[in-house]
Amino acid sequence: MFIYYFFVIGIVNNVLLTIIFLLRETNSLLILDKYGWVYLLLIIPTVYGLFLKKPKEDAKRYSIFLLIFLAFLIIEAVYDYILNVPFRENWILLSPYLVLYFASNYGFAAMTWKTSQKRGIVMMSLFVIQIIVNILSH
Which helix (H) or strand (E) segment holds residue 79: the answer is none
Burial class (CB in 10 A: 0-12, 13-18, 19+), 131: middle
Look at the chain and report how many structural domains it folds into: 1
Q: What confidence category does residue 125 fall into, taking pLDDT thresholds of 50, 70 and 90?
A: very high
Distances (CA, A) of 86 to 50, 55, 90: 31, 41, 7
Using DSSP's 3-state secondary structure scheme, residue 83 falls into coil
Mean pLDDT across 55-79 = 89
Mean pLDDT across 37-58 = 87
- Give pLDDT, residue 55: 65
Q: On the CB side of 84, how many CA atoms lie within 13 Å of its CA?
A: 1
Which helix (H) or strand (E) segment holds residue 98: the answer is helix 91-115
Q: What confidence category does residue 57 fall into, taking pLDDT thresholds of 50, 70 and 90?
A: low
Please tell me the distance from the alpha carbon of residue 68 to that of residue 74, in angstroms, as a whole number.
10
pLDDT above 70 (res 29): yes
Q: How far is CA 39 from the centre of its chain?
A: 9
pTM comes to 0.92
State which residues form the domain around 25.
2-137
- Give pLDDT, residue 30: 86
Q: What confidence category does residue 137 fall into, taking pLDDT thresholds of 50, 70 and 90?
A: confident
